[in-house]
Amino acid sequence: MGQNGNLPAFNSKFTLYMGVCWIIAAFGGLMFGYDIGISGGVTAMDDFLLKFFPEVYERKLHAKEDNYCKYDNQLLQLFTSSLYLAALFASFVASKLCTVIGRKWTIRLASLLFIAGAALTAGGVNLIMLIFGRICFGIGVGFGNEAVPLFLSEVAPSNHRGAVNILFQLFVTIGILIANIVNYFTSKMHPNGWRLSLAIAAVPGLALFLGSFVITETPTSLIERKKYEKGKTVLKKIRGVNDVDAEFDQIVSASEMAQQVKHPFKKLMKLSSMPPLIIAIFLQVFQQFTGINAIMFYAPVLFQTVGLGNDAALLSAVITGLVNVISTLVSILLVDKVGRRVLLLEACVQMFITQSVIGAILQVHLKSHGNTLGHGQAIVVVLLVCIYVMGFAWSWGPLGWLIPSETFPMETRTAGFAFAVSSNMLFTFLIAQAFLSMLCHMKAMIFFFFAAWIVIMGLFALFLLPETKNVPIDLMVERVWKQHRVWKKFMNDDHKNRVEAGR
């Protein structure tokens, strides 16, 4: 049954309709990515600051800057990161919604919230509107990031699940890139360029909203809600074959087990749920401790720090954005062939070396006061950042979302995945909030700080992360957790008992 090699575990054929569903759902990633990319740029625009944060603007004008302490301002960082706090709480609500009303409706709600967020922030006349807008964006991101990766993992045939799920991350990276390009142009449009930047967020929201009338509900979600007939019809439609009995029966039996669990969150706290939960949370925490968002949010500031002019710095940020997109494609091609672990481990080596060398160059050549780096050195730093982003983009970026969406049994899947989403949001918030202050205080040492975390996550992946390539999503307990050297000790009761324990 296709556990080895690249054989499908169950019958399936690619259908155009399926491909369309994947792409539409992945627009949820575009909403998330666009926001990651847009906020830093908008908060750097003087017109925006003058309108909503006049004191910050004043201080920016008169600030005594040193090379490592450019725009360090907590209030402004809070504007960027507040969205992640809203998303953190929203992901738990989304978990319940995904179970009760399904993945498709949760995706539709996410798109509506995102459109509302774009309207409120782009049309913002005071801080209250702006904050409400950010909260709508945040809830939209929380809903979308919970529902979309689950949707993709559930509709994909198991032998292509990695690639299909990574479409989400691919669209995240495209969103970041588009936002960087948009900011580049709108920053020159006075006085309302920032409004345009924020308004464009409605485009992926609208695309997702319209698309949500085209996509199907996942068979898992239908069967979970006892719509067996419909579940089977949809399964035939998305698999492109008539003989889906084996897969259907397997989802039904997973769902019967799941039905017995009345309190998924309580069940998650049981010993036997710990392995996927620990993996899900740590993958997301580590993903943020690679330091990626220090680059994604603040690349232009960082590149100015090393001595590039304003335009060159923005342009370099566009280049790293492009590298991010292209390298994610590499992950799509490789993840179901070489597996998850190889990608994660290789990238740790690549990211460790680049972060350490960047740290060393800055430590030696960039003092707080006085000259910035020479032009040649600044180019080397940009190149190293590109190699670093490459590593992230084919490993911890996509796999931080993929693995948690595919490793929980059905009874705890939405609840467990909510922990992954909220851990992502919490640590994105912390890094967004703290990075500029950390850069200001730790100076070049901040790169060694991230490099040290990369060693820790490498060891974690080496010893604790099981390979999930090609394993059908509802057979993870038997084929993965019960077989793993460390995690099997948590799983020594049989599946049935585990379900009973969670009632």
Contact positions toward ligand BGC, by CB under 6 A? 36, 169, 172-173, 176, 287, 292-293, 296, 324, 397, 400, 424, 428
Instruction: Tell me if 402 sits within 8 A of 79, measured CB to CB.
Output: no
3-state secondary structure of 125: coil
Whole-number minimum distance, CB 328 to ligand BGC, in Å?
Answer: 8
CB closer to ligand BGC out of 255 and 424 = 424
Whole-number minimum distance, CB 257 to ligand BGC, in Å?
Answer: 31
Please spell the DSSP secondary structure of 202-240, one letter per residue: HHHHHHHHHHTTTSPPPHHHHHHTT-HHHHHHHHHHHHT
Whole-number minimum distance, CB 296 to ligand BGC, in Å?
Answer: 4
CB closer to ligand BGC out of 248 and 297 = 297
Q: Which residues of 147-184 are buried (b: 16+ CB within 10 A; e: fewer)?
A: bbbbbbbbbbbbbbbbbbbbbbbbbbbbbbbbbbbbbb
Please give the angle made by the CA atoms of 148, 4 and 161, to the nearest 5 degrees. 10
CB closer to ligand BGC out of 279 and 410 = 279
CB closer to ligand BGC out of 165 and 216 = 165
Residue 102: phi and psi, rounded to 5, are: 100, 165
| CB-neighbour burial class of residue 346 (10 A; exposed 0-12, middle 13-18, buried 19+) | middle
Whole-number minimum distance, CB 32 to ligand BGC, in Å?
Answer: 8
Whole-number minimum distance, CB 205 to ligand BGC, in Å?
Answer: 19
**Residues present in the chain in total:** 503
Whole-number minimum distance, CB 91 to ligand BGC, in Å?
Answer: 13
CB closer to ligand BGC out of 170 and 306 = 170
Whole-number minimum distance, CB 410 to ligand BGC, in Å?
Answer: 24
CB closer to ligand BGC out of 43 and 324 = 324
CB closer to ligand BGC out of 35 and 411 = 35
User: Which stretch of DSSP H or E encloses residue 360?
Assistant: helix 340-365
CA distance 149 to 147: 6
